[in-house]
Amino acid sequence: MANEPLIPSVRDIAKNAETLSPIDLKRIVPLPPPYDKDDPAEMWKEISAEKRSQIDASLDGVSALALKRPTGPAEEKRLLDGLKAGLAKLLSSDDNWTFRQQLELTLDHCTHCQTCAEACPIFVESGHNEVYRPSYRADVLRGLLARYGPGGNPIKAALQGSPELNWNTFARLAELAYRCTLCRRCCQACPIGVDNGLITHELRKLYSQELGIAAREAHTDGSVLQLKVGSSTGMSPAVVKDNIEFIDEEMSEKVGFTVKTPWDVEGADVLLMHNAGEIMAWPENPGAFAVIMQQAGISWTLSSEMVAYDAINYGLWYDDVQFARVALRHAEIAKKLKVKKIIIGECGHAHKALSVVADRILLGEANVPRESFAPFLASIVDSGVLKLDPSRNDFPVTLHDPCNIARAMGIVEPPRRILHKIAPRFREMTPHGVDNYCCGGGSGFAIMSGNNFANWRTLVSGRIKMKQILDAFAGELDPSIPKYLCTPCSNCKGQFRDLIRAYNAFERSKIQYGGLVELIVNAMADVKPGFLEWEFH
Amino acid sequence: MGFVAIWAYVTLAVFVVGCLYKAIKYATMPMHLRWELYPVAHEKGKVEYGGSYFEEVDWWTKPREVSKLGEFKTIAEEVLTLKQVHERNPGLWLPSLMFHYGLYVLFTLGVLLVVGAVPGVRGLPGLARLGGGRVLMALAAFGLTLATLGCVGLLARRLSRADLRRSSTPADFLHLWMLLAVFLASWASFFWADRHLAVAASFVQGLVTFRPVAGLPGWFGAEVVLLGIFLAYLPWSHMTHFFAKYFTWHSVRWDDAPNMFGKTYEQRVKKLLMRPISWSAPHIKGDGRKTWADVATKGGDS
Ligand code: SF4
Ligand code: SF4
């Protein structure tokens, strides 16, 4: 139940209110026709009063973490004390050497000019919900540090407008750390270089590393499972090999020649690492990779070692220690296989994790060079080794730039080079490249759907992307024209699957989504026509 | 020595030490993990669209071209035109531009006064004194006009624009009110005490030569006292962004230097991995004795 609209200040985060800043569905970004007639209220789900008595949804009526209320004063004190201890650790050169410099620079220098605000898709999409303002959560953290952090005192707290630390603040701040996709558009816009996305990252770390509070999908069902059984999908080495064998058979049938994925080839030129979610949800993606590798004559392999057959590294979003554990395993296995390089498949966060953030912790021989699938495939396409028939892709195509590949790594041109060769009706979204909007599923959101979080993802965090897609296909939205949203990232794909389903955009406009490799294979002249299937899944 | 001179020495010392302390603090923080953000200004030939060396096949085998000029151009454009504010926050741009240019002019004036006070120095400061200090006077009037109008404009925007007012901290308002007080005292001193900046010049000369002048006009004294309060406060506020930008841009957003096999990063990282960790969540159980190397190489699976 929504209460009276209120424009909360930073101090208000501590206030007793059933919902501090509810989602106002009347104010969310409008979509073009015919989607303008849809009633967002029909796509929304309130958390029941009974559920709300068990878990906290007092920030905006949404729950990403299903945070349980403390069982009593002792439990509450433990949590609040933990948060205070975590504040000090964020500023410690021992506990947070990994990000301390960036964090302190950001904490110390925001002038509250609000130049970043309109760059934030979530703030804009929500119709300017005040708690989604990029500087809001940063100011809550600054306020807590000024009052309870190292060197905190009443003068600093007064100057900063610090909130009180109570259960309301604790719970809402934890949720607030999951209302930002870490897309860092705000940081691009900031004239000073203050990084509100980083604040989200550090807050998530504080809750996870000090208190063990994180999104279940990212931690227990994510990085923990990956380290325990080999993959967050739950696939063991034996199962993954079985599944790939099955995919090979399927592919062979589809393309008209035998496709065989090599495993554990020592000294191969390329170790290909997929997000294992692809194997389960979009098997045509690893299948298409295998077809291209084989037809291009690449010396390549997959690894069946635990952790290495899943390129994901969810720690990137919430926990430096889990992050390091997975990254080190990935690199060690590549070193053991003595491959010349790792090619990271179509998974954005895996790109950033292993190529950028882990770069400086990979020591000695474990520093195996990592390359993105995009330039690698572009060089194969450029070489002419694949016979391509672009007329097979004669339908409208647009490209979503995954934030972690474009904004975090500067890989912009290679996927376009490929698309210009294989998709005659390719058109850009606006904006695109490093200025793109996040799909709305970034930083783990695409795998999080508990309570009403999936509704929030489709109505709030992904809405501007939906608008971009519809605008890119303007004039061709009729379902008689098949359209392809090329999205070379597993997490983005998960989000697009949910977006297209929620807006019924496959039935209404025949918008299909998929990776880049599928589109390449669909254009290969020696492959049976019709590789792409126009069925929604 | 009079109070005003002592005040000037003390507050200037706090300003300089405070800024140095903060800059040294940032500069000596441990090497962080990479966190660059594109466009990276030094990527030669690719910066226009935000591309990077990661776009090249086998990028580690190719020479890396870093354009210092690219970085300089981006910083200069931002400092001189406030590009981001112009494009994304146009309502704030004009007052912000006036304010910043006002400060640049007043800073230049300050430098001229100091340089001119050094015994034996002629040239530029001498030129500035030509015409009975008219150049100094013009600089002061021009700088103060821009800075005051900019400051009033920023205050007005912050008070009248709901989003800005709501997201401002008490400190944001305090900074602007403090600056306005400094500018108003400077105007008062300019009109009623020191139109040709002769008092300012002799005061600065006194400070530089450690022979402070006595008997200063009241408005001039008020100007120095208020300016001193502001300067002593500045290092502890977000206004250190004037130098912190170097770090946020150069050392974070643009720090894309790869860890090439066997290069310097390795030694530094090895040391960092030996640092103790005390995060207490059950999947870490840091006790202040375990190191990062300990926790990163085992556990995490329960
Ligand atoms: S983060 Fe940057 S752009 Fe945003 S309010 Fe702060 S200083 Fe302004
Ligand atoms: S990182 Fe992205 S989602 Fe988060 S505050 Fe910044 S712009 Fe908004």
pLDDT in tens, B169-208: 999 999 999 999 999 999 999 999 999 898 999 999 999 9
User: Over 80: is that where the pLDDT of B118 sits?
Assistant: no
Are B259 and A360 a contacting pair, CB within 8 Å?
Answer: yes
Report residue A270: phi and psi, to 5°.
-130, 130
What ligand has the least distance to the C-alpha of A465? 2
Residues of chain A short of pLDDT 50, as ranges, are 1-5
Partners of residue B27 in chain A, C-beta under 8 Å: none
Residues of each domain in chain B carrying CATH 1.20.950.20: 3-30+82-253
Nearest-CA distance B145 → chain A (Å) = 22
In angstroms, rounded to a whole number, what is the distance separating the alpha carbons of residues A233 and A289?
Answer: 20
Q: Out of 3.40.50.300, 3.40.50.2300, 1.20.950.20, 3.30.70.260, which CATH number does the structure's domain B3-30+82-253 have?
A: 1.20.950.20
Instruction: Decide whether any atom of ligand 2 lies within 6 Å of the A197 Cβ.
Output: yes
Report residue B13: phi and psi, to 5°.
-65, -45
Element (H, E) at A11: none
Rounded to 5°, angle at Cα A263 from A230 and A348 = 55
What ligand has the least distance to the C-alpha of A116? 1
Instruction: Decide whether any atom of ligand 2 lies within 6 Å of the A65 Cβ.
Output: no
Q: Does A188 touch chain B (CB under 8 A)?
A: yes
pLDDT tens string A352-370: 999 999 999 999 999 999 9
Nearest-CA distance A507 → chain B (Å) = 35
In angstroms, rounded to a whole number, what is the distance separating the alpha carbons of residues B242 and B248?
Answer: 11
Mean pLDDT within B276-294: 97
Which class in CATH covers the domain with range A59-211?
A: mainly alpha
**Quick one: pLDDT band at residue B162, thresholds 50, 70, 90?**
confident
**Quick one: pLDDT band at residue B124, thresholds 50, 70, 90?**
low
Read off the tokens for B23: 């800059």
Task: Supply the pLDDT for residue A312.
Answer: 97
Q: Is A275 helix (H, G, I), strand (E, B) or coil?
A: coil
Pocket test for ligand 2, best of A102, A128, A130, A180 (most atoms within 8 A of CB): A180
Are A500 and A514 a contacting pair, CB within 8 Å?
Answer: no
Task: Supply the pLDDT for residue B264.
Answer: 73
- β-strand partners of A342: A271, A370
Task: Supply the pLDDT for residue A1.
Answer: 38
Enumerate residues 6+ apart whose C-beta is below 8 A from B180: B148, B151, B152, B155
Task: Supply the pLDDT for residue B121.
Answer: 66
Enumerate residues 6+ apart whose C-beta is below 8 A from B174: A159
Task: Supply the pLDDT for residue B115.
Answer: 85
Task: Supply the pLDDT for residue B130.
Answer: 62
Task: Supply the pLDDT for residue B262.
Answer: 59
Pocket test for ligand 1, best of A109, A112, A123, A185 (most atoms within 8 A of CB): A112
- Which chain A residue has the Cα nearest residue B61? A369
Is the dihedral angle over the CA atoms A262, A315, A211, A495 positive or is it negative?
negative
Query: How many angstroms is it from B143 CA to the middle of ligand 2?
Result: 37
- Does the distance separating the beta carbons of B266 and A195 come in below 8 Å? no
Q: Which CATH architecture does the domain made up of A230-378 adopt?
A: 3-Layer(aba) Sandwich (3.40)
Are A263 and A241 a contacting pair, CB within 8 Å?
Answer: yes
